[in-house]
């Protein structure tokens, strides 16, 4: 399966060797509204087809940021985006397809295999994965990694990196 995220530099040979992450952003937001706005602006970096892994503890703002990204991609309004903690996958949009995946309840490789993540990644879609660290070695590149850290009150540190092959 071959795909790229927006901003992928053509002409870089794909020999299956990771070039390491390129840091795109390192910011602190001071409110949920700022986190949503950053997500809307970040949507231009995750145009399909693209895999986006969101990392962070409970309450770090993964779903809030996802709401902004989905809205920025034009797939759904922020108020329509909810955490897929129990359903595991939510689908948004028709023209701009976005899959929002939550791996919080995934416990082992068998659970992961039943999700059909490969099928999602094979589409012209943006796939946003909360608890992306649970993919382990299955997390392919190119992709965008977003690390969120709760810094107290409503402040969130957000680091966005692109990993290319």
Mention every residue, 6+ apart, whose C-beta is less than 8 A from residue 131. Answer: 54, 55, 62, 102, 103, 104, 106
Superfamily of domain 32-136: P-loop containing nucleotide triphosphate hydrolases (3.40.50.300)
H or E element in which residue 130 lies: strand 126-130
Res 72: pLDDT: 96
CA–CA separation, 88 and 105 (whole Å) = 8
Cβ burial of 133 (10 Å; 0-12, 13-18, 19+) is middle
Residue 82 near residue 90 (C-beta atoms within 8 A): yes
Chain-centroid distance of CA 115 in Å reads 16
Strand partners, 101: 89, 129
CA–CA separation, 59 and 44 (whole Å) = 25
Res 108: pLDDT: 79
Copy the structure tokens of residue 151.
Answer: 């810094």
Record the pTM: 0.86
Q: How many CA atoms lie within 13 A of 70 on its CB side?
A: 28
Res 17: pLDDT: 47
CA–CA separation, 19 and 116 (whole Å) = 27
Res 110: pLDDT: 75
Chain-centroid distance of CA 60 in Å reads 14
Res 32: pLDDT: 97
Is 7 strand, coil or helix? coil
Percent of the chain as helix, strand, coil, to the nearest 5: 25, 30, 40
Pairing of strands 50-55, 126-130: parallel
Per-position pLDDT tens, the chain of length 165: 334 465 443 333 344 445 578 999 999 999 999 999 999 999 988 988 999 999 999 999 999 999 999 999 999 999 999 988 878 899 999 888 999 999 998 887 778 778 888 888 889 999 999 999 888 766 777 899 999 999 999 999 999 999 886
């Amino acid at each position: 399966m071959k795909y790229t995220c927006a901003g992928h530099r053509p002409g870089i040979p794909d020999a299956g060797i990771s070039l390491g992450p390129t840091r795109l952003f390192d910011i602190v937001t001071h409110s949920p509204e700022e986190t949503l706005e950053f997500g809307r602006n970040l949507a231009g970096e995750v145009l399909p087809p693209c895999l986006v892994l969101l990392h962070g503890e409970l309450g770090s703002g993964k779903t809030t940021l996802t709401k902004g990204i989905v809205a920025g991609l034009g797939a759904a309004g922020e108020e329509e985006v909810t955490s897929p903690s129990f359903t595991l996958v939510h689908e948004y949009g028709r023209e701009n397809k976005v899959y929002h995946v939550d791996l919080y309840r995934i416990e082992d490789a068998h659970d992961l295999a039943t999700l059909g993540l490969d099928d999602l990644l094979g589409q012209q879609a943006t796939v946003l994965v909360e608890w992306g660290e649970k993919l382990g070695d299955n997390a392919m590149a190119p992709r965008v990694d977003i690390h969120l850290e709760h810094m107290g009150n409503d402040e969130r540190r957000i680091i966005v990196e692109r990993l290319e092959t």
